[in-house]
Each structure stands twice: as structure tokens, then as C-alpha cells.
Structure 1
Amino acid sequence: VPTILSTCISKQQLQTVKDRFQAFLNGETQIVADEAFINAVQSYYEVFLRSDRVCRMVQSGGCSASDSREVFKKHIEKRVRSLPEIDGLSKETVLSSWMAKFDTIYRGEEDPRKHQQRMTASAATSLS
């Protein structure tokens, strides 16, 4: 049974994902992150999400959410291995934490009320 992660993403979904990562990088989310994670996301965003290659993969139907997740995981494994031990946390714990944060960014806001509040605030500021 195919999961939602294994289905190909559309150009619109890719743009939504790019927007979510840009919002995170702009500090517009509630996701708490340290500098190392932010740098990893910045690199992933610039090198992978914004690449012409990914756009071509999406256009040809050859890019899934799990592909994106796997690229991020490979990307951060190298980074985390090179980090000094952080407050006694194992590198596996750091990897798990970073992947959970990635998943949260990728999926976007889970609480529709937060989205509604943001839309209302956005509408209010555009009226003033």
C-alpha cells in the first residue's frame, strides 16, 4: 500500500514546501532550533529545494516527499557527525530531533486555527 510520502509531488506542492522552509528560515514559525539546524536547513533549501534538478524531477513525476526527506537526512548526517558532542546528547538523538523538526516544517502547521489566525492577521495588516 503506497503511503502519502511515496507519491510524487506536484509543482504546486514543491512551491508550498519551499514556502514553508522559507518561513522557517525567516523566523515565521514556532519551531525552536539552534544555529546548526538552521544552517543545515538553509543549505538544504538553497542546494536542494531551489535547484533546477529538483524542478525537473518534479515536472517528470520523479520526486516524492520521501525522496526529499532522504536527501535532507543524508545531508545532515554528515553535518551531525562533524559536530562536537552537544550537552551529552548522542549524535543519534540529535539526528532524530532534526528529522522531527524537518518533518514539522515539511508538513506545515498541523493546527488549522494557527493558520486561520495568521490569515486573519495577514488580512488585517493588508487593510491598514
Structure 2
Amino acid sequence: MTGEPDLAEDRRRLAEAQGRVVAALVAGAAVPAGFDPERMRVQASSLIAKRRGIVARLRPDAAAAAGADLAAEFAAYARSRSAPPPGYRADADDFAAWLRERGRMPDPPRKPRWWSRLLP
């Protein structure tokens, strides 16, 4: 039983270290000691490109609104967040809202209320 506290402490330190690596990859945090900054930058860029591609497939209207600036706009959007939202659909919707806030995308058309069909 004497090894259990050490194991718990090791797990805690490992979780903290993993959190620093993830933060460097997805949130622009400082690169942890022992990691090649250039490789981390390349991997972070790759992850942003993957997210951008999925977001563009889920929200082609947002991709079209960003136009030729899609890569730069999505990179700026990703840097403005401390972490990606939970799930690609939320990421896509957040990106569309981010574009809308900057005047790059029109507001979505209002859907008629169900009861409006009943009005003469």
C-alpha cells in the first residue's frame, strides 16, 4: 500500500502534463518543456485545418461567407477560444456566429411560426 500515494501523485502530474500539451495544441498555450516548438506549431496548424475542413462541410454557408479568407478567418476564430467547443456541430455553429458578429455572414432567415399557418 505504500506505493499508492506515489501512484496517485504520478497520475496527477501526468494529467497536468497532458493538459499542458493539449492546451498548446488547441488553445495556443506555451509549448511545454521537452517538446519541439516547431513540431508543436505544425501539429496545432494541422488540427486547426482538420477542424476547418469539418466545419466547412457542416456549415457550407459559413465557408462561403468567409470565402477566400476561410483559412485566415477560421485560424483567428480558433485562436480566440481557450478550447474548441464540445463537438464539431457546436464548433461549426460557433464559427458561423463569430462570422456573423464581424459582419461577414448575414443573419439566418426567420422561420415562420407553426401557428402562422392558421392565420387568415
TM-score by length of 2: 0.32
Higher relative contact order, structure no. (Cα contacts within 8 Å, ≥ 6 residues apart): 1
* Structure number with bigger Rg: 2
TM-score by length of 1: 0.30
